[in-house]
Amino acid sequence: MCAQYNLGANNGQTIIDCEGTLEDSGKGGNNPGDYGLNNDQTMTVCMPDAEEICIFIDEFNTEEPHDSLTIYTGTDLTGDVLLTLTGIQNASTICFPGEANGGIECFTFHFYSDSAVTRPGFNLHWEATIKQPPPIPPFNITGVDCEEASIVITLPAPILCQYVNAASFNLIGPAAPCIADAIADNCVDGLTTQITLVLCGPITKSGSYGLTFAYTYLDICGKEWPFNAAANFTVNNCPIEASLPPYIYTCGTCVFLDPDVTGGDGNYTYQWAPALEEGATVAQGMACPPKSATYTVTVTDGLGQWDTASVFVEVCPFEVTLPDASFCAGNCLDITALVTGGYAPFTYSWQAADPNAVSNVFINAATNTICVLSPTTITVTVTDAAGNITTATATMTVEKLTASLTGGGGTYCGTPLPIGVVANCGSGNYTYNWSPALIEGSTVASGNIGNLSTPQTYSVTVTDAETNEQVVISGIFVDLCKLQIDIACPSQLCNDTQSIGVNVSGLSGNYSYNWSPALNEGANVQWGTTSVTTATLYSVTVTDNITGEIATDTCTVDVCKLTANLLIPTYLCDELDVATHCLSINLDITGGSPPYNVVWSAPLDTLVGQGPHIVCLTDTTILVNVTITDSKGVTTTDIGKLDPCAFVAFFDGETNLCQNLCTDLTIETFGGTWAYEFTWLPPYDNLVGPGPHQICVTGPTNVQCLVKSGNEIKLVTANIEICPFIADVEIDTVMCPGQSDTLRLYITGGTGPYKIDWDVNGLGNLYNIDEANGIDPNDGYDPKYLVIAPNVASLQTDRFVVFVTDALGLVRTDTVWVNYHPEPGFALTAF
């Protein structure tokens, strides 16, 4: 919250405050003569490192030109004048650069009043934007030893003590402990440059550590600035420690061993047993044991301290696997030996138990293409880079001739059925014999079954042409299609026509049809339509004209129940009028057996048929009741109603008049009987009907009319109000050299035409501002006079006063002050 200052109470003082409120020496309020007589008071405000300073003139009303407030740069009255205010001033703002941007650090208020005070005084306030202070740069912490459980930090700049807490700090490094507490030491005026950090445990590892923390800086204006900072320190006097993972598993690859060493003085030597591939004294390297082994390293620092670490390296067994395989005689397959363990590269030696059983030549590779003529076994011997050997054996089997069907069997429905036989192994040279023959013949591998009139059982014999080996597949049964039908009909008709028919499947595809009763298209069609008005049982008989088969199916088509639905529109009364209050009603009938007999009940018993019918609203509810009877004597009813609209009457037209004191009024009506009588009350009893009627007044007036609908009468009233008579002059109140603005006059209320008189600085129409003659009344009597700021050596002022006289002799006046400032671009904004 801004501090509040009183120019009387703080006279002669220097204030260091980034924001504050200043009032005159009075007691406040808006009383004439509130501030003191013969005031000669000063107050200086300073704010170091400000980027920008703004002074806000909130209220200013003094006796012009005797009582004035001047604002100077600096700490006394010898500085440059920023602004001088006197008389009545609109709220405004002045902004200027602060010290951080090459501007001012201080400014001084000086208020002067004479011996006669008649005005209430002033209120203003100021605000400053302070430049952000620089953060603490990264720094180093010294003197941190191993096993210490607390750290003392000396900061390059002070921070707020109240924000020092353990949560603001974070320590990182080898096995860094957490921070249990943070204590601000030697706090002075809430600030400190020394902090003690209490750790959750001692530092036990040598190495580099980093500390990050959040802190808050308090600037000269009391603003808090949050920052983050970082520091570093090194611990190098912890005992030496060496570690390796306890266990490593490998299968066919060497492992990389890299011990983790901390502590000591950092000057380490290494001794491995057994030695690594790179040697026994390297810091790290590859271990390639032929079998599982334990590796141990001894690490010694420059102070003679030492430590050991060990790791057990488990090596998987060196093995090879070879899969069994089946062949058609003479065929070839790729066989791969799968090796696990051992050390690459590997050599492969392949051998067949019966060399005459294979036709291929073996090569030194994991995969060989093996071509088998007769059953045998294959052995592979694998040797790794370390000379280790492993073997595996697989069985090679030769398959006999086999055959299998594709397609065949099932039901023949006039469309050929595809069938075939696939032979495997043997010599690959095959002959075929089908019994009975296929459409394509008896010696084909595949073809189609067709032209059947009776069910048949097929067989096929496959013969190896070179070995005479045979395979017989028999019992391939093919049945004939049976005639099948499925009637498709609608379950229900509702005064409409729908499709009806029968789906047929059979052997010949040549059928005749007989419907009972006949469809709309006749009795001998497959598909047609039905339009029955009573529940009907349909039967259809289908005959296969080739085989003589007969099939019958039935279905029942029902008729919708007789229903009736009154269609009465919904309506909003305020959307109806005399011309639209008659509505269309209709009757929707479905189901039953037409034709229909429709009977409307009173008061609508004169209506005939389904409609639509036009019914006019009245001031009572109209009940709608209708009875419908179909040709079978089935009866149904539906009811509804038309609710009346309440009688409403009101005036429509402008009732708030400003310059033109005439208005057009109309009486809007709806509801009731929808017929109306209008009786206007004096002094407007000469008017007839609802209007529009032009009403002219000279002051606030009540216009009244009695409106009758049926037996109901309403009194409607229009209260005509007159706008207050106001004159308002507007222009920018502060201008700098080269700036300009147009003098603007706005008139509301009163009675035109108006007479306009201007006065400048009490000297009459000094600048010949255009007055009533030549000013367009439709343009708001705007004088369109352009005021151009002159070049002045010091602050100068023009006072413009307007006198507006209306046709009734009433006078209104308004005053505006224009201040001409000598400094171009002076940042003062009026509002």
Give DSSP secondary structure letters for 97-117.
EBGGGTSBSEEEEEEE--S--
Nearest to 282 by CA among 265, 257, 261, 305: 257
- Per the prediction, the chain carries an average pLDDT of 88
How many whole angstroms separate alpha carbon 63 and alpha carbon 473? 129
Mean pLDDT of 728-743: 87
CA atoms within 13 A on the CB side of 562: 21
Pick one of 1.20.272.10, 3.20.20.80, 1.20.120.430, 2.60.40.10 as the CATH number of 241-315. Answer: 2.60.40.10
Q: Which residues contact 774 (CB under 8 A, 6 or more apart)?
A: none
Could you give phi then psi for residue 101, rounded to 5 degrees?
-110, 25
Give residue-wise pLDDT tens across range 555-575: 999 888 888 888 888 888 878
Architecture of domain 726-830: Sandwich (2.60)
Give residue-wise pLDDT tens across range 491-522: 888 878 999 999 998 877 789 999 999 999 99
Q: Which two tokens stand for residue 469?
A: 């080996």
Helix, strand, or coil (residue 738): coil
Nearest to 642 by CA among 661, 662, 618: 618
> Radius of gyration of the chain from Cα atoms?
57
β-strands 470-480, 410-412 pairing: parallel
Q: Which residues contact 603 (CB under 8 A, 6 or more apart)?
A: 622, 623
Nearest to 313 by CA among 261, 251, 271, 270: 251
**Would 3-130 and 484-559 be classified into the same CATH topology?**
no
Q: Which residues contact 408 (CB under 8 A, 6 or more apart)?
A: 417, 419, 420, 449, 458, 476, 478
Instruction: Specify the DSSP class assigned to residue 758.
Output: E
**In the predicted structure, residue 296 carries a pLDDT above the cut 90:** yes
Nearest to 495 by CA among 606, 628, 614, 687: 628
Beta strand extents in 535-608 (DSSP E only): 536-544, 550-559, 563-567, 582-590, 597-600
**In the predicted structure, residue 344 carries a pLDDT above the cut 70:** yes
H or E element at residue 704: strand 701-709
Beta strand extents in 572-618 (DSSP E only): 582-590, 597-600, 613-616
Q: Does domain 648-722 have CATH number 2.60.40?
A: yes
CATH superfamily of 3-130: Spermadhesin, CUB domain (2.60.120.290)
pLDDT for position 208: 86
pLDDT for position 251: 85
Confidence label for 718 from pLDDT (cuts 50, 70 and 90): very high
Neighbours of 444 (CB within 10 A): 16
Strand partners, 665: 693
Could you give phi then psi for residue 366, rounded to 5 degrees?
-65, -30
Q: Which two tokens stand for residue 287?
A: 């271990």
Strand partners, 552: 541
Neighbours of 604 (CB within 10 A): 16
Where is average pLDDT lowest: 148-152, 209-213, 361-365, 490-494? Answer: 490-494
In CATH terms, the fold of domain 139-235 is Immunoglobulin-like (2.60.40)
**In the predicted structure, residue 827 carries a pLDDT above the cut 60:** no
How many whole angstroms separate alpha carbon 646 and alpha carbon 637? 30
Mean pLDDT of 468-483: 88
Instruction: Specify the DSSP class assigned to residue 604.
Output: S
Q: What is the pTM of this model?
A: 0.33
Give residue-wise pLDDT tens across range 782-815: 677 888 888 887 888 989 999 988 888 888 999 9
In the chain, count of helices (H) and strands (E)?
Answer: 0, 69
Give residue-wise pLDDT tens across range 158-216: 888 998 999 999 999 888 899 999 999 999 988 899 999 999 999 888 788 999 999 88
pLDDT for position 741: 87
| Amino acid letter, 671 | G
CATH superfamily of 319-399: Immunoglobulins (2.60.40.10)
Do you find a cis peptide bond into 455, omega within 30 degrees of 0? no
**In the predicted structure, residue 530 carries a pLDDT above the cut 60:** yes
How many whole angstroms separate alpha carbon 615 and alpha carbon 624? 10
**395 with 412: CB under 8 angstroms?**
no
**749 with 810: CB under 8 angstroms?**
no
**In the predicted structure, residue 312 carries a pLDDT above the cut 80:** yes
Nearest to 113 by CA among 85, 149, 72: 85
**760 with 799: CB under 8 angstroms?**
yes
Could you give phi then psi for residue 487, rounded to 5 degrees?
-75, 140
CB burial readout 361-381, b (16+ within 10 A) else e: ebeeeeebebbbbeebebebe
DSSP 368-425: EEEEBSS-EEEEEEEE-TTS-EEEEEEEEEEE--EEEEEE--EEESSSPEEEEEEEES
pLDDT for position 317: 87
Q: Which two tokens stand for residue 311?
A: 């790791």
Give the rounded percent of residues in the chain with a pLDDT score beyond 70: 96
How many whole angstroms separate alpha carbon 436 and alpha carbon 450? 11
How many whole angstroms separate alpha carbon 359 and alpha carbon 443? 34
Q: How far apart are the first and last CA of the chain?
A: 24
**In the predicted structure, residue 128 carries a pLDDT above the cut 50:** yes
The residue that leads in pLDDT, 585 or 116, is: 585
How many whole angstroms separate alpha carbon 532 and alpha carbon 519? 10
CA 538 to centroid of chain Cα atoms:
61
Give residue-wise pLDDT tens across range 753-787: 888 888 998 888 877 776 544 445 555 566 778 88
pLDDT for position 366: 95
Residue 155's alpha-carbon distances to 49, 135, 136, in angstroms, are 23, 11, 8
Neighbours of 190 (CB within 10 A): 13
Between vectors from CA 413 to CA 412 and to CA 418, what angle results, nearest 5°? 50
In CATH terms, the fold of domain 563-642 is Immunoglobulin-like (2.60.40)
Q: Which two tokens stand for residue 139?
A: 């720094």
**In the predicted structure, residue 137 carries a pLDDT above the cut 50:** yes
Q: Taking the domains of the chain in order of start, what are their residue ranges?
A: 3-130, 139-235, 241-315, 319-399, 423-480, 484-559, 563-642, 648-722, 726-830
**804 with 759: CB under 8 angstroms?**
no
Helix, strand, or coil (residue 13): coil
pLDDT for position 592: 80
Residue 210's alpha-carbon distances to 165, 195, 460, 540, in angstroms, are 18, 16, 88, 97
pLDDT for position 722: 83
pLDDT for position 739: 87
Give the rounded percent of residues in the chain with a pLDDT score beyond 90: 46
How many whole angstroms separate alpha carbon 473 and alpha carbon 407? 13
Sheet strands side by side (includes 81-86):
14-16, 40-46, 106-112, 68-73, 81-86
Give residue-wise pLDDT tens across range 392-449: 999 999 888 888 999 877 888 888 899 999 988 877 789 999 999 999 999 999 999 9
Mean pLDDT of 215-226: 80
- Burial class from Cβ neighbours inside 10 Å (0-12, 13-18, 19+) for residue 685 reads exposed
Pick one of 3.40.50.620, 2.60.40.10, 2.102.10.10, 1.20.1050.10 as the CATH number of 484-559. Answer: 2.60.40.10
Q: Which residues contact 745 (CB under 8 A, 6 or more apart)?
A: 727, 728, 729, 756, 780, 781, 782, 783, 802, 804
**802 with 760: CB under 8 angstroms?**
no
Mean pLDDT of 298-327: 91
